[in-house]
A and B are shown apart, each in its own frame.
Chain A
Amino acid sequence: DTEVTQTPKHLVMGMTNKKSLKCEQHMGHRAMYWYKQKAKKPPELMFVYSYEKLSINESVPSRFSPECPNSSLLNLHLHALQPEDSALYLCASTMPGDTQYFGPGTRLTVL
């Protein structure tokens, strides 16, 4: 089983809203990732958690706040987003050094 799940599938939010994206995997992977993907572009890495610790933060604005409550769950808290933050947000998981498996993504629209 190589399934990574993400909820919600679609999200529309205003610039003053607070919302969260959720990612879950039950493959025993110990590294989890958030990517942002704009149309016609490759995914851009945002954050990496390794063994529940934040190991990489690619200079992402503080309006994006990741959280890893346990080894199976990864959240991305959103606050005061801008319209240019509208994108597909992908979660991935892996054992360090192994293949990354991606979830189906959350399509976020910021009005």
Chain B
Amino acid sequence: AQKVTQAQTEISVVEKEDVTLDCVYETRDTTYYLFWYKQPPSGELVFLIRRNSFDEQNEISGRYSWNFQKSTSSFNFTITASQVVDSAVYFCALSEGYSTLTFGKGTMLLVSP
């Protein structure tokens, strides 16, 4: 069975601080996909990144970066120089091949000015 753990329920930072959101996953498959979604207060789930299990390269997109480590079954997400607009709930999710998404419980990030 697949499982995603986001141990941080809520994180509060001040603007311009760097922040890392942790994600640990469990799966028996060798082929799987990892995702991060952002959910601002408006409610829409915004897709941020998709990674397949064969690609351990770290990814950077602007102020966002992702660190995928199969050895520790982790897919962590770092926001550099956080901004108030980054305030949202962030979900890490896993799918095995053509299976449905398994979500973590989410981490609420609050960035204050």
Q: Give the B-binding residues of A (Cβ under 8 A).
A: 2, 33, 40-43, 45, 48, 56, 88, 90, 92, 96-97, 99-105, 107
Asked if B101 and A41 sit within 8 Å, CB to CB, the answer is no
| A contact residues around B35 at 8 Å (CB) | 99
A56 near B100 with CB under 8 A, answer: yes
| Cβ contact within 8 Å between A97 and B98 | yes
Which of A41, A48, A99, A103 sits near B44, CB closer than 8 Å?
A103
Verify A45–B47 contact, CB threshold 8 A: no
Known contacts being A45-B100, A56-B100, A104-B44, is A99 close to B106, with CB within 8 Å?
A: no
Q: How many residues of chain B are within 8 Å of chain A by beta carbon?
A: 18
27 examples of A-B residue contacts, CB within 8 angstroms = A33-B100, A40-B106, A41-B105, A42-B91, A42-B103, A42-B105, A43-B45, A43-B91, A43-B103, A45-B100, A48-B100, A56-B100, A90-B45, A99-B35, A99-B47, A99-B50, A100-B101, A102-B37, A102-B45, A102-B46, A102-B47, A103-B44, A104-B42, A104-B44, A105-B43, A105-B44, A107-B43
Find chain A residues with CB under 8 A from B46 CB.
Answer: 102
Please classify the interface of chain B as helix (H, G, I), strand (E, B), loop, or mixed, using the class held by over half of its residues.
Answer: loop
Residues of B within 8 A of A88 (CB): 43
Residue of A43, A45, A48, A97 ringed by the most chain B CB atoms within 10 A: A43
